[in-house]
């Protein structure tokens, strides 16, 4: 016996990846429905590599009654409109948008980090998926925090254009092509040219000079991992199609060596440590595409602070940063609460 599952926003980058991962991981499904806006109604979409095609239904007319869970990838505006409707009908919503992440009645879950927090989901019948850059970072931080207690994190991100959706990927491709043939490369989706450039600006600016993306990393890390950890972030968009990278500097309360950290990370759930101190002995975004793991490299001691480490963290943002984490939440929900699958 399996679950009745809805994927909302199934025609977008993250929605398609959700379908791929549900199929890959053989999630126990009795029935699956794909829903999206009226623009996509009637389109056919592949259910991973199962050979099965699913017909997109209009979310406006879809009745969620009797469905067990819905994986949402429809943005905050869509979630505001439809998540309460699905939740009220008894269909637990796992939401990829930012809307509910900081709601005290909505668990914000990374299964390798705070699985027990899912137990509070019944308050609103909604579970939030964290920001892509936060998700991979806390997977790397959690086992180190357990070992030596983190005081402060300084992170600079190198975020791929897929984090801005299909429009971001299209813009990088078109600008690159235009530059090679001598045409204009005017920005549309981004504030400046993204091809052969980096942009230190993701999401809107806040009054203190930080961006909303940076704020999300700060507050979400506190909610998921530990409210006492101090976090400062600089989030940068780079001309990479898929895969977010992060340079993370960590200050601990207790002493921890690079060798100890490597040993801990080697055994940690969700982590793949690839850290050889030689040419190419580290992971870059190209190698992480399509992978489940959060990759860690370049672990080294920081002599400028007491008990400091620096490391490099890379992950497929469409997977661990979004779709994979949502499916892992669905698996966790099934195991801990719904328990319908054999």
pLDDT in tens, 203-242: 999 999 999 999 999 999 999 999 999 999 999 999 999 9
- List helix spans (H) across 61-131: 75-88
Reference 336, options 121, 159, 184, 191; nearest CA is 121
Confidence class for position 339, pLDDT limits 50, 70, 90: confident
Reference 83, options 106, 104, 66, 102; nearest CA is 106
Residue 274 in contact with residue 281, Cβ under 8 Å? yes
CATH number of 133-160+198-315: 3.30.360.10
Q: Residue 320 is encoded by which pair of tokens?
A: 């661990």
294 annotated ligand binder: no
Query: Annotated catalytic, 61?
Result: no
The predicted pLDDT at position 341 comes to 63
The tokens 């016996």 sit on which residue? 1
Measure the CA–CA gap between 37 and 82, rounded to whole angstroms: 11
175 annotated ligand binder: no
pLDDT tens digit sequence for 167-205? 999 999 999 999 999 999 999 999 999 999 999 999 999
Single out the catalytic residue among 132, 235, 288, 313: 132
162 annotated ligand binder: yes
pLDDT tens digit sequence for 62-78? 999 999 999 999 999 99
16 annotated ligand binder: no
11 annotated ligand binder: yes
pLDDT tens digit sequence for 238-267? 999 999 999 999 999 999 999 999 999 999
Q: What is the mean pLDDT of residues 309-317?
A: 98
Confidence class for position 309, pLDDT limits 50, 70, 90: very high
Share of the chain above pLDDT 70, in %: 99
15 annotated ligand binder: no
Confidence class for position 292, pLDDT limits 50, 70, 90: very high
The predicted pLDDT at position 342 comes to 59
Residue 314 in contact with residue 321, Cβ under 8 Å? no
Neighbours of 35 (CB within 10 A): 26
Name the fold adopted by 3-129+322-338: Rossmann fold (3.40.50)
**Phi, psi (degrees; rounded to nearest 5) at 168:** -65, -40
Which residues have CB under 8 Å from 163's CB, separation 6+?
132, 133, 202, 237, 244, 317, 321
Measure the CA–CA gap between 55 and 41, rounded to whole angstroms: 8
pLDDT tens digit sequence for 29-60? 999 999 999 999 999 999 999 999 999 999 99
- Going from N- to C-terminal start, the domains of the chain cover 3-129+322-338, 133-160+198-315
Single out the catalytic residue among 91, 145, 235, 244: 244
Query: Annotated catalytic, 132?
Result: yes
Measure the CA–CA gap between 321 and 319, rounded to whole angstroms: 5
Is it the case that residue 317 has pLDDT exceeding 90? yes
């Amino acid at each position: 016996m399996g679950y009745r599952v809805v994927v909302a926003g199934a025609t977008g980058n993250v929605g398609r990846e959700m379908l791929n991962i549900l199929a890959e991981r053989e999630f126990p499904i009795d029935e699956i429905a794909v829903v999206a806006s009226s623009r996509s109604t009637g389109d056919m979409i592949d259910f991973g590599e199962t050979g099965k095609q699913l017909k997109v239904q209009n979310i406006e007319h879809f009745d969620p009654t009797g469905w067990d869970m819905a994986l949402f990838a429809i943005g905050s505006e869509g979630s505001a409109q439809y998540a309460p409707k699905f939740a009220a009908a008894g269909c637990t919503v796992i939401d990829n948008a930012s809307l509910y992440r900081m709601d005290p009645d909505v668990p914000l879950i990374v299964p390798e980090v705070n699985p027990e927090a899912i137990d509070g989901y019944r308050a609103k019948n909604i579970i939030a998926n964290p920001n892509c850059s936060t998700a991979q970072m806390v997977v790397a931080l959690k086992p180190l925090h357990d070992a030596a207690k983190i005081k402060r994190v300084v992170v600079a991100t190198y975020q791929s254009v897929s984090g801005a959706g299909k429009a971001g990927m299209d813009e990088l491709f078109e600008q690159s092509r235009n530059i090679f043939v001598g045409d204009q490369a005017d920005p549309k989706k981004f504030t400046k040219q993204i091809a052969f450039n980096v942009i230190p600006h993701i999401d809107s600016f806040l009054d203190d000079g930080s961006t909303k993306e940076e704020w999300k990393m700060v507050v979400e890390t506190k909610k998921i991992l530990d409210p006492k950890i101090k976090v400062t972030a600089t989030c940068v968009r780079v001309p990479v199609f898929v895969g977010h990278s992060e340079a993370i500097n960590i200050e601990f309360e207790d002493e921890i060596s690079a060798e100890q950290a490597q040993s801990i990370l080697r055994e940690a759930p969700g982590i793949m440590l690839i850290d050889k101190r030689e040419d190419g002995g580290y992971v870059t975004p190209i190698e992480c595409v399509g992978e489940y793991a959060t990759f860690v490299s370049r672990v080294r001691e920081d002599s400028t602070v007491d008990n400091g480490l620096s490391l490099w963290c890379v992950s497929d943002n469409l997977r661990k940063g979004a779709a994979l984490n949502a499916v892992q939440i669905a698996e966790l929900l099934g195991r801990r609460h719904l328990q319908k699958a054999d």
